[in-house]
Chain A
Amino acid sequence: CNDILEETPRDRFEPGFFKTEDGIRGGLTGLYSGLRRLYGQPYYYNATETGTDEYTYGSQADGNFRAADLSGLGIPDAQNSRWDVLWNTAYANINSASGIIANGTEAGISPSLISEARFFRAFSYFLLVQTFGGVPLDLGGGILQYNTTPTLTSVRNTVPEVYTKGVFPDLLQAINELQDNPRVIGAVTKNVARLTLAKAYLTYGWWLQNPNNVPTYPETARNDPDGHDAQWYFQKAYDIAVTGIDSPGSYSLQPTFYDVNLAQNDRNSEIMLFADHTEANAQYSESNITGWDGGDGQNQAGWMVTWYFQNLKASKTAGTWSSVDATFRTVQAGQSYTRPWMRMAPPIDVFTRTFADKTSDSRFNGTFTTVYRATWKLNPNRAENILYGANYLPIAPNDKILSFLPSDPGGISYPVDPNPNPNNVILNQDGTEAGFLPGRADFVIPLDKISRNIYPGLWKLGAYRKASDYNDDKIASSRPFNILKFSEFYFVAAEAAVKGANVQAGKSARDLINVIRARAGKWRFDVAENVTKIADNSAAMMAATPAVIDINYILDERSREFFGEGYRWHDLARTQKWEEYAGSYRISQVGGTAPVTVNRELPKYLYLRPIPQGQLDRMSGDAAYKKNYQNPGYN
């Protein structure tokens, strides 16, 4: 009876399933779900934003965030750098993609489906090469081959090798073979590949040019193995981006900027790639839908940039301060409110410089939460119908309880008691660092005097739940996290033009940027005031565009368009403008006090992020081997 020594698993798949048609289709789905492990992942989000001009650390920041800020509170290293999230997820996706590419044809998979895998492999390599420099193309099974061999060593290729072998060929083939329109909601298309290739060409062009002499690793000459120069790549970037604009397929710009990021309008025509989620099913969302702890695929990025607005207090009674919560922590409160972790805060310059125009340009309004409203009534246990705010003026449910003012009008009274006691101190009665102005029921704080404790929230990423079944705010966002947008074609083409690409008629850098700016001038809703607002400031917006667009203008405009969406560090790294843009920032020690300038230390070796400790630990080899594997500066 030798039978009892034989194994027939019935509860799992063996790797052999990965050679069948169903297995390969499942492998593709696995690649999409791989997006979640990066986009919306809060620590990866931290890595892409903290230390740029868009974000510094918030007052509840831990060591990871503080070190990432590079302002003297620690130095990013192989342990604390959270770019490990990218490193630790990318290769599994690359290998899976290689498996689909290797087995797909034999299993009868159509070329367009195989090219979805090609896209993901190239997309992963593009992210890796921008972040770490040269990375391995051979995972153990040969260059770009599916690996099924346990391998405890790794050899890094150079940056040009990664681009010319790991990024461009797959994307070129994907553009040829992918469909124009997504086969299912959110699937990749020709234009998704085009946008990625255009960005890759643009980025590689900058790399070849290397205007600020940033080092690369593994060391290599800045020569293109395919024999092209930077200019060739800028031109290609421009051409492909313009092709994308001219053959949009199912994609288009939304009529207003507000529409792009409105929760009810998620997965709109402008969004080309996103890491999807749903509040309807925990298993397929890979995220808890009734609580906070739900694995590594959750979208929690918005928590990081939300301050402790729920500390806001009002009084139960007029005349005598009887402190009660003015807000209720619930996902039912809508997109303006998200679970607060206060790990990251925007510096003041975001509001004084990047978003200087807050009236014509709808993007400030459509990016931030700058008015907080009294939401206590959402708590079923609260009976009060009226509370009293600043100056004991009455506040009805959904009235403003706190407003960020564009700038300091003067005359704001602030808390002075260093030990705030909400029960009897009229100053600081709101429970935050805000102050009050005569005649106003809401507490106020000017945007040019925000601190790490009090700053606008990021409305764009706000949590939102359609159903009313769950009312805690601890749940991860069930909204998709956006990755690529149709609008970026305009920016990529414009940037390539700025870098000297020959432009088509009517598609100069200024023309392209003005498409975006014209749209930004259109209003249909005022988020802060929570009212419909129909306005068209397109003409004024276009008129305000400089005659000559330079790279700094592109970067500013990109921040206005894509603020807080995880683009920023790669933008600054590509253009080598990190120090120029983020070398210092301003923030107030305490809300309402004069801002202080904080300097950052940004030595050039940081342009390559550290190889995570986990990789070094798991490789066999001596210290010298591992040191050689690590990027310079981190040993």
Chain B
Amino acid sequence: NLKGRVLDETGQPLPGAAVKAKGGTSSTLTGANGDFELKSSSSISAIIVSYIGYESKEVNVSGKTNITVTLNPDQKNLQEVVVIGYGTQRAEAVTGSVASIKGEALREVPSANITQALQGRVAGVEMTQTSSRPGSGMQIRIRGTRSLNADPNSGQDAPLVVLDGIPFSGSINDIDPNSIRSIDILKDASATAIYGSRGANGVILVTSFRGQKGQAARVSYNSFYGLKNLFSRVPMMDGPEFARLRTEATKTQQELNIGTFAPSSDELDNANTDWQDLLYRNAMTMSHDVNLSKGSERGNFSVGIGYYKDQSVLPTNDFNRYSIRAAVDQEAGKYFRFGLTSNNSYTVTEGNQVGISDALGASPLASPYDANGNLKRSTYASTDPYKVWTKDLINDLKDRWLSEAKGLGSYNNMYVEVRAPWVEGLKARVNLGLNIRQTTGGNFTGKGVTSATNPNEPSTAGINNSTMTDWAIENLLTYDRRFGKHEFNAVGLYSAQENTFYRSDISVRDLAAEHFQYFNLGQAPQGNITINPDNQGHTVWGLQSWMGRVMYNYDNRYMLSATLRADGSSRLAPGRKWHTYPAVSAGWNIAQESFMSEVTPLSLLKLRVGYGVTSNQAVAPYATLGRLSNRFYNFGDNGDESYETGYIISELPNENLGWEFTNTWNFGLDFGLFAGRLSGTIEYYKQHTKDILLAVDLPPTTGVNRFTSNIGETENKGFELSLNGVIIDNPNGFRWEAGVNLYTNRNKLLALTSGSDRNEGNWWFVGHPINVIYDYERIGLWQTGDSHLNVLEPGGNVGMIKVKYTGEYDNNGVPVRQIGAADRQILDFDPKFQGGFNTRFSYKGFDLGIVAAFKNGGTLISTLHGGTSYLNLLNGRHNNVSVDYWTPENTGAKYPRPGGITAADNPKYMSTMAYFDASYLKIRTISLGYNFNGKWMENAGISQARIYFTAQNPFVLFSPFHKESGMDPEPNSYGNQNQAVTTQIVQRLPVVGYNVPATRNYLVGLNFTF
């Protein structure tokens, strides 16, 4: 008998490789760790080892009993197979823009969901953190923003996620990253065309693990456990700093005759309380995942369970996910194949009601304890009360103060495939997807728990539930055939999908007893039960499609793909529901040409060109119908008999509402050099989006707020580069790999409502990117002796913020007017370029990996430093962000003089202090791993064992914001969240607000395969 092991070119075991005795009948497949044992009665002289995508190898084994075979990638069959819509394709034949990332690469960044893992990994795919709460997903944008939506949660600029072939309608958090085998991202129109309108913003194809054909039973266990430490506290002032600020502010306020903020009786000159320190805890995160898979010649299965937990530094705030999944494929008879995939998860999010605003605003000069050493209910900073919170207090309150969200998601799809017995290559397939996602939310605040002043404040409780059901059916006919050098693949599809969403919400006040929590709201007085119609909802939408795609490949040199698709959407107006649109792309594998055979270093050179139209139904259901909004009124104060519900028309119908279109050109060049040691892709694209579906705010004189219309035009142009290389490759020793991706996207708004070149309310300006900041431009602070202070800023003071004046000057060089609305500027928000890099060093069993992301240019909005958080008031009212402010002795400061002129409650133009250069380079993870090897493993039946240590979020470099504040430069909120004033910054822009602080995590992980 012959024993041996099959490895790939990187020294990793190749499971499932076929090993066959030359000239004999005995054969086998390698196991999970690449091992095989070939049983044979006669002696074997040579074996043939083969594996898809690799060059088959014949090895002489005469006289040997143990052998290691290394396979090299098949240069003709270069690299792996990629998943495209409704099928797979060899990477070399792909003509559209498709980026792939393997599950292993994703798991280099241990995370709750794929958005976190994908950040900075793929050119053209931008992941933006919009909440730092545990279990939050990120905003995904593929090649920029096309549609115009004030509400970023509308999902209308988000890509389509397809899980195992069926459009995924749930929460991204329901997909356990441990279950993912690969992710393929379709970026251009020719690649996404097959998904039609739902793919208008790109498609993310998630493929989960299945058993491999002929694979021995394998159990794998992956886990990590980590500690999370505060990355940085919010840089609030300490006691002495705050006392100094108040003194400075008072001096100025008295000079300018502005009201001062006297200390409250709680505030003492010598106190120095760090409220954040009292509140934050050290948190942990962990993940456990077990998977069992097996394959036979005609079938395979995979089942797995997982558990993931992530805590934030706020007491009781955490996210838990329990997941269970199964995948089965089975052939039956000669022509039938069946399969089933089921992904199920149950998530529990707790403690999102705990926030940090009291800890930030409370005066550091106030002690949390009274004279007897007991915790006070609240302390006053000047006249504002702040509830006292400590981690122990919150932990003790856990039955009396809670906010829970539980989500149960089940995503299932089944298929039946029939091969036509009489036509080779013809198959029919039916896919059926059945999905359901239910969430139940509950909250309860016991009597007096959150009130700063009232221990008897009545309790409140509420529930909110939602159910989403979704079905999709796809009927596919595929024809796949090769005639010599001609290779055809044709797909025809009819699909239908319907999605129903229902939500309900009830809130009550003054429950009869606290043990009810939110579990029996009927125990509140009838008059205290509120069912607000605005918080109930029911929407149904449907989509029907016909599609055909033909792919043709001649001799691996010339490739062509053409798609035609017709979509019908329920969301659009009758008569305008259907639309048909084409996409074509072509590829030329230059390296395969005979004239290139001399250019030996070049293993791959492929040119791709694609053009296509995609359309988008980027509008909420019922937008064509118009809407009445509710108004409520009490006629008198006699309880229920006084109450009446009223209506006012708030949206006008639009009978002409039709599709939104994007025309896309894509040019790509794929190359491989030095036998694949260096490979890369360069792409350029141009998208032009027309007839954008937009809620148009009408002039008040119309009498109606808005209507939805096909108005607006945008453009995206971008350039993407990805490079992957093996820099050093010593087969028996040191190996160094690196990958980098870099991309830019230039977005431009080409047209808005007819005849209008600006929408100031939404910060949209024709000729500028969709995302801009519309505000004054800060050019410094007013200094003593600066001219025209009294003209430009009547009532202003030296030390106040100086903004750019754009008006005229008279003959004496004096400005003709004061600074006003006309001086506001359109300021850049988008970065110049961004990307990421990863590198991996390995030596023997050790490996060291680094994953990083970077961004250059653009604007980071820190509402903490601007006006909307009310934490940089610079007037001594309550605690303040620790900033370098102007005083007569410190005139070179960045921030204005405390106690000076205000607009609303903030120093005038304080919004301009929120803007920082958004550049950063962030090391997302550094991992050191060790793969065990040795006899003991074999004895224990372990085929693979790995331990690793990971530091997450260890460093931030080149970030002006981080340099000044010490904080993480990644946004943690949308523009209308986690601030005191939520109307100033448009909702869609992500900002750094007072959300849960970022952490630095230290993980230890263990992976075993049996």
A interface residue numbers (CB < 8 A to B): 1-15, 17-18, 23, 26-34, 36, 58-60, 62-64, 66, 72-75, 77-80, 87-96, 98-99, 135-136, 139-140, 147-154, 184-187, 266-267, 276-286, 290, 308, 310-311, 313, 323-325, 328-330, 340, 342, 379-381, 418-420, 422-423, 431, 451-453, 469-472, 589-590, 612-615, 617-621
Contacts and interface: CB of A to CB of B under 8 A. Distances in A.
8 contacts: A4-B496, A15-B653, A139-B702, A150-B709, A276-B634, A285-B632, A286-B631, A619-B756
B635 A185 contact: yes
Given A17-B628, A95-B649, A96-B649, 9 more contacts: A1-B496, A11-B538, A74-B794, A78-B821, A152-B755, A280-B527, A280-B639, A283-B632, A472-B453
A453 B753 contact: no
B983 to A, nearest CB: 11
A533 to B, nearest CB: 28
Contacts of A185: 635-636, 638, 642
Contacts of B636: 184-186, 267, 276
B264 A325 contact: yes
Interface string B454-486: 111110100000000000000000000000000
B704 A14 contact: no
Nearest to A314: B265
Interface of B: 247, 250-251, 254, 257-260, 262-265, 268-269, 376-377, 380, 382-383, 385, 451-458, 460, 496-498, 509-510, 527, 530, 532-533, 536-544, 568-571, 577, 621-622, 624-628, 631-639, 642-649, 652-654, 696-705, 707, 709, 753-756, 758-761, 794-795, 818, 820-821, 902-905, 908
A4 B543 CA distance: 7
Contacts of A32: 633, 635, 646
Nearest to B266: A325
A310 B642 contact: no
B625 A471 contact: no
Nearest to B571: A7
Contacts of B755: 152, 620-621
A579 B92 CA distance: 82
Given A23-B647, A29-B646, A277-B634, A431 B627 contact: no
B622 A72 contact: no
10 closest Cβ pairs, A-B complex:
A95-B703, A29-B646, A4-B542, A185-B636, A620-B755, A59-B259, A30-B646, A73-B795, A13-B628, A79-B821
Contacts of B455: 380-381
Given A77-B820, A284-B632, A14 B637 contact: no
B383 A308 contact: yes
Q: Which of B257, B530, B696 has the most CB of A within 10 A?
A: B257
A367 to B, nearest CB: 23
Contacts of B254: 418
Contacts of B634: 276-278, 281, 284-285
A9 B257 contact: no
A148 to B, nearest CB: 6
Given A12-B628, A469-B510, A186 B635 contact: yes
A340 B509 contact: no
A328 B383 CA distance: 10
A313 B510 contact: no
Contacts of A79: 820-821
Contacts of A267: 636-637
A214 to B, nearest CB: 24
Contacts of A451: 257
A5 B570 contact: yes
B631 A472 contact: no
Given A151-B698, A308-B383, A617 B758 contact: yes
Contact of B754 (A2, A3, A60, A620): A620
B622 A12 contact: yes
B920 to A, nearest CB: 34
B631 A29 contact: yes
Contact of B903 (A62, A89, A283, A472): A62
Contacts of B628: 12-15, 17-18, 23
B794 to A, nearest CB: 6
A197 to B, nearest CB: 23
Contact of B702 (A7, A12, A150): A150
B361 to A, nearest CB: 14
Contact of A329 (B383, B635, B756): B383
Contacts of B569: 5
B377 A18 contact: no
A324 B568 CA distance: 70
B776 to A, nearest CB: 12
B43 to A, nearest CB: 65
A618 B453 contact: no
Contact of A136 (B457, B645, B701, B905): B701
B457 A324 contact: no
Contacts of A282: 530
A330 to B, nearest CB: 7
Nearest to A479: B637
B696 A91 contact: no
B627 A13 contact: yes
A15 B527 contact: no
Contact of B652 (A148, A472, A620): A148
A400 to B, nearest CB: 20
Contacts of B905: 60, 62
A454 to B, nearest CB: 10
Contacts of A149: 652
- Interface centre among A75, A184, A470, A618, by most chain B C-beta atoms within 10 angstroms, is A618
B626 A14 contact: yes
Nearest to A138: B701
A104 B628 CA distance: 17
Given A186-B635, A278-B634, A282-B530, A59 B645 contact: no
Nearest to B380: A325
B570 A154 contact: no
Given A33-B631, A95-B703, A324-B265, A152 B646 contact: no
Nearest to A617: B760
B548 to A, nearest CB: 20
A99 B646 CA distance: 14
A472 B455 CA distance: 11
Contacts of B259: 58-60, 308, 342, 452-453
Contacts of B646: 26-33
A22 to B, nearest CB: 9
Contact of A589 (B257, B260, B647, B759): B257
B704 to A, nearest CB: 7
Given A96-B703, A329-B385, A14 B265 contact: no
A273 B797 CA distance: 45
Contact of B700 (A285, A311, A431, A614): A614
A614 B753 CA distance: 14
A329 B453 contact: yes
A620 B758 CA distance: 10
Contact of B453 (A77, A88, A379): A379
Q: Which of A72, A92, A277 has the most CB of B within 10 A?
A: A92
Nearest to A8: B540
Given A5-B568, A278-B634, A311 B642 contact: no
Contacts of A90: 700
Given A13-B647, A88-B700, A471 B653 contact: no
Contact of B539 (A11, A72, A139, A152): A11
A477 to B, nearest CB: 13
A117 B278 CA distance: 58
Given A184-B635, A284-B642, A63 B627 contact: no
B265 A381 contact: no
A59 B255 CA distance: 12
A284 B795 contact: no
A62 B537 contact: no
B100 to A, nearest CB: 33
Given A13-B647, A95-B704, A283-B530, A4 B544 contact: yes
Nearest to A313: B265
